[in-house]
Amino acid sequence: MASLLNLDNPALAYYSVPAALVLAGIPVGIASSLAGKNHDHNYPRRTVEKSAKDAHLSQEVKDKIERAKAANANACETLGYYAAAVVAAVTAGVATRTVNLHCAAYLASRVLYNVAYIQLGNGHLRGAVWITGIGIMTSLWIKAAGALAA
């Protein structure tokens, strides 16, 4: 396990991609848990709609369910850009430690994004964290291009 946490481990960046996928799935679990009987495994995309109609759920819970589903959608929308940025940086020869630090920062941004969006409902913080995550991914692309140009 110690080698997994070593920032000089060249495999760490690749491990971060499935970790990002796991972080993308956590909001679905939160939404499902909050929705209770309103979550239908056969039609999971109806969870928000069914929960919104449930008079037994508070508006606060309904809002968290909707935000959790949106957090999941956002993570899925950016996952391809992230995975490709990781592969680009690694294959272009960007320093392993630099890539791994970017990956760790990106994963941290996704955790904070989920907290800001789902738990806190703070749009300003969520937006700032989202922009930070996009910046981290874009930085990997720029570093990859720089490594190739060198």
CATH code at position 136: 1.20.120.550
Tell whether the model's pLDDT for residue 12 goes beyond 80. yes
Given this model, what pLDDT does residue 4 score?
58
- DSSP string of the chain, one letter each residue: -GGGG-TT-TTHHHHHHHHHHHHHHHHHHHHHHHHGGG--TTSGGGHHHHHHT-TTS-HHHHHHHHHHHHHHHHHHHHHHHHHHHHHHHHHHT--HHHHHHHHHHHHHHHHHHHIIIIII--HHHHHHHHHHHHHHHHHHHHHHHHHHH-
Bigger pLDDT: 94 vs 42: 94
The yes-or-no verdict on residue 62 having pLDDT over 60 is: yes
Kindly state whether residue 92 falls inside one of the protein's structural domains.
yes
- Calculate what percentage of the chain has a pLDDT beyond 70: 97
- Each residue's pLDDT tens digit, 85-109: 999 999 999 999 999 999 999 999 9
pTM comes to 0.92
In a domain, 34, yes or no: no
Number of domains in the chain: 1
pLDDT attached to residue 8? 87
The domain in which residue 85 lies consists of: 18-25+63-149
pLDDT tens digits along 123-134: 999 999 999 999
pLDDT for res 10: 86
- Residue 101, domain member (yes or no): yes
pLDDT at residue 3 above 70? no
Structural domain contains residue 42: no
Residue 39 lies in a domain: no
